[in-house]
Amino acid sequence: MFSNRRAIFALLLAAVVLAAPIGATQSPSSKALAVVLQALEQRQADARQSAATRTVAEDTSLSLAASERAAADAKPFLAQLDAIDPAGLTHQEDLSREVLRWNAWVTMNQPAQFWFHSAVMPTTGSPLTSILTGAPERTFANDGDLTGYLAGLDRLVETIVASQAKEQERATRGIILPDEQIDRSLTYLEPFAEGSSSSPFAVSADRLKAIAPAAAAAFQARVATVIDTRVAPAGRALREMLIGLAPRAPNVVGWGQYPGGKEAYRIAVRQMTTLDVTPEEVHRIGLEGIAETEKAMADLRRQMGFTGTKAEFHDQLRRDQRFYVKTPDEVGAVLMSHIRRIEPRVREFFTRSPEAIYGVTRLNPTLEPSQTYGFYSIPTSAEPRGLYNFNGSRLEDRSLLAGAALIFHELVPGHHFQINLQLENRELPAFRRSSMSTGYTEGWGEYSSSVVAREMGMYTDPYDLYGRLVFDNFFNVRLVVDTGMNYLGWSRPKAMLYMREHTLESDVQIDSETVRYSTRSPAQALAYRMGRQTFVRLRERATARLGARFDIRRFHDAVLSVGSMPLFVLERHIDWWIAQELAR
C-alpha cells in the first residue's frame, strides 16, 4: 500500500515549472499553460519561504477554513485550465493540463468530505501519525536542529488541540466514531499523553552525540519540560474528550450512517478510483470478481489433488506451519527471497529500472495494531532505500502464503519500481514527478504482482499461485465490503463474516481491515482491484490494435514514463501511444 492523503492542491504548489520557458515558438495554448504553471511556481516559492512559520490553522485536514480556502483557490485555477485550447498543446502538455484539472476537482470537493475524516485515527500520513513516527527519526547535528525540534513540539501541541476541536465539532454535527474505534483511538493516543520519562518525543543522549554536552543536557531538560507541561496535558485532554463521547458513540459503522455521508462516499469512490463509477457498480464488479476467482481457486485445488471442500482446504492452509515464521527477521528474509527470484527476469519485461535501492523493515510497532500488512515508503536523505514496512506483530496469526504476491506488489515490479522511476524521470514536469494518484499507484501494484509477475514465472509453485489467487479474491472482497459498510448499510459483523467466507485472512487481519474500510480510509481500498482492471483493459486494447507489433516492454514504458495520473487520463495517453506505435 502506498497512500498520499495530504491536500492535493498543496501538491500543485510543489515545483510546477515546465521544462521549456515561455517563448515565441510556443503555441498560444502552450504559452497559456506555461503562464499558469509559472504563477503556481511563484506560489510554491512563497509557500516554501513561509513553511517554518505555517500554522496548524493552514492544515486542510484539521481546519475547515483552510480546506475551503484551498477549494476557493482551485476554482479560478480550474477555470484558467479550462480556457486553454487543448488542440494547441503538445501531448505531454495536454497530460499535464488534465492532471492539474483533476487535482483541482479533488481539492474543490475536499470540504464536502472534511467532517467525515477523523483526526484521531492511526492513519498513515495524518498530522498526528506523521509527528509520532517522524520524531524518533529526527537527527541532531547543530543548534538549528535543536531549535527546529522545539518548534516541532510547539506544532505538536497545536495539532493535538486542533484535533480535539475537530472531533468536538464532528460530534455536534452528529459524526462520532463508532464505539469500537474510540477504544482503538484511545490506545493510539496513549503516547501523546505520556510524561517525559516514557514519551516517544523525549530525546535520548545517544541521539545528541554531535551536540556539546552542556547544550545537549539543557536541550533535554527543555524538551522534558515542554512534554510534561504542554504535550502530555494536551494529549490527556484529547483522550478525556474521547472518553466523554463514548456513551454517544454508534454501534454501527460506515459513512452512510451520518448526515451527508452517502454523497461524501460517492465523491470518495470517484476520487480514489479516478474512474466515473458508482458504489453500486463497484459492488457488482466485486461480486463478479469473487465468482471468477473462486472458480480459478477450485480448479487449482483439483489440479493439486485436493478432493475436499474449499473450507477444508483453507483450514488446512491456516494450520500449515510452513507458511508461518517466528520472528520479524524471518518475515523479511522470506519476502526478500521472493524478490531475489524476480530480479533476473525484470529486463525481459521493462526497458529500464529505477536507480533507488530497496529493502524491507519492520513497521513501527506503535502503528502495527492498525495495519493489516504495512506500507511502502519512498527513499529519503535519512534512509536512501525504498522500504516495505511490514507488520511484525502476532506472527502466529500472519500466514505468508501470499508473501510473494505481497512483496511483488510493494517492491518489484510494484510500488518501488513505479514510484522511483517516476521520481527519477527528469523528462517530466516536477509536479508530475511527485504526483500520486491512488487508482494508478495501487492499480499498478496489483497489475504488476498479479499479471506481470505471473508471466515472469513467479507462481510456478502451486501454493504461491494459490496465494496469489487468495490475494486476488481479497481485493475483490474489498469492493464488496467497503461499499457494503459505507453505502449499502452493512454492519461490521456482516462484513467480517463475509471476509471469513471468502478470504484466508485471520480474525486479527479481518478486524483491522474492516476498521480501515469503514472508518479509517473509506473507498481507498477500492483502488487496487479497480486500478488493476483498468491496466489489464488498456493492455488488451493495445494488444488487439497492435497485433504482432505489440511489445510488452514498450507498453510498460508507455505506462510508467508518464508517471502516476488519473486512470481516465492514462487511457487517453495509451490511445495516443497506440496511434504512435501504428505510425512507426
Q: Is the peptide bond before 429 cis (omega within 30 degrees of 0)?
A: no
Beta-carbon contacts of 361 under 8 Å, excluding residues fewer than 6 positions away, are 332, 387, 388, 389, 390
Could you tell me if residue 527 is inside a domain? yes
Q: Are residues 338 and 386 in the same domain?
A: yes
Q: Which of 190, 224, 251 is the last residue of a domain?
A: 251
Nearest Cα to Cα of residue 435 among 104, 45, 56, 35: 104
Nearest Cα to Cα of residue 434 among 183, 99, 120, 110: 99
Residue type, 153: L
Report helix, strand and coil shares of the chain as percent, to nearest 5. 70, 0, 30
* 25: exposed, middle or buried (Cβ count in 10 Å: 0-12, 13-18, 19+): exposed
Q: Is the pLDDT of residue 14 over 70?
A: no
pLDDT (mean) for 239-247: 98
Q: Are residues 402 and 299 in the same domain?
A: yes
pLDDT tens figures, 354-378: 999 999 999 988 788 877 889 999 9
pLDDT tens figures, 478-533: 999 999 999 999 999 999 999 999 999 989 889 989 999 999 999 999 999 999 99
Q: Are residues 434 and 454 in the same domain?
A: yes
pLDDT tens figures, 264-310: 999 999 999 999 999 999 999 999 999 999 999 999 999 999 999 99
Q: What is the DSSP string of 490-524?
A: --HHHHHHHHHHH----HHHHHHHHHIIIIISTTG
What Rg value do the Cα atoms of the chain yield, rounded? Answer: 24
Q: Are residues 187 and 235 in the same domain?
A: yes
Cα(70)–Cα(357) distance, integer angstroms:
36
Q: Are residues 498 and 372 in the same domain?
A: yes
Q: Are residues 195 and 337 in the same domain?
A: no
pLDDT of residue 508: 87
Domain that holds residue 153: 127-251
pLDDT of residue 15: 36
CB atoms within 10 A of CB 172: 9
Q: Are residues 274 and 388 in the same domain?
A: yes
Q: Are residues 136 and 66 in the same domain?
A: no
Q: Is the pLDDT of residue 103 over 60?
A: yes
Phi, psi of 388 (to 5 degrees): -90, 120
pLDDT (mean) for 112-141: 91
Cα(257)–Cα(174) distance, integer angstroms:
10
Q: Are residues 366 and 484 in the same domain?
A: yes
Q: Which residue has the cell 470540504?
A: 111
Which residue has better confidence, 61 or 45? 61
Q: Are residues 52 and 144 in the same domain?
A: no
Q: HSE-up of 299 (CA within 13 Å, CB side)?
A: 8
Could you tell me if residue 343 is inside a domain? yes
Q: Are residues 181 and 328 in the same domain?
A: no
Could you tell me if residue 481 is inside a domain? yes
Where would I find the H helices in 109-231? Answer: 110-113, 127-134, 143-172, 179-188, 190-193, 213-226
β-pairing, 374-377 with 386-390?
A: antiparallel
If one counts the domains in the chain, the total is 3
Q: Which of 76, 93, 116 is the last residue of a domain?
A: 116
Q: Are residues 131 and 104 in the same domain?
A: no
**SS3 annotation, 369-405:** HHCCCEEEECCCCCCCCEEEEECCCCHHHCCCCCHHH
Residue type, 176: I
β-pairing, 358-362 with 374-377?
A: unpaired
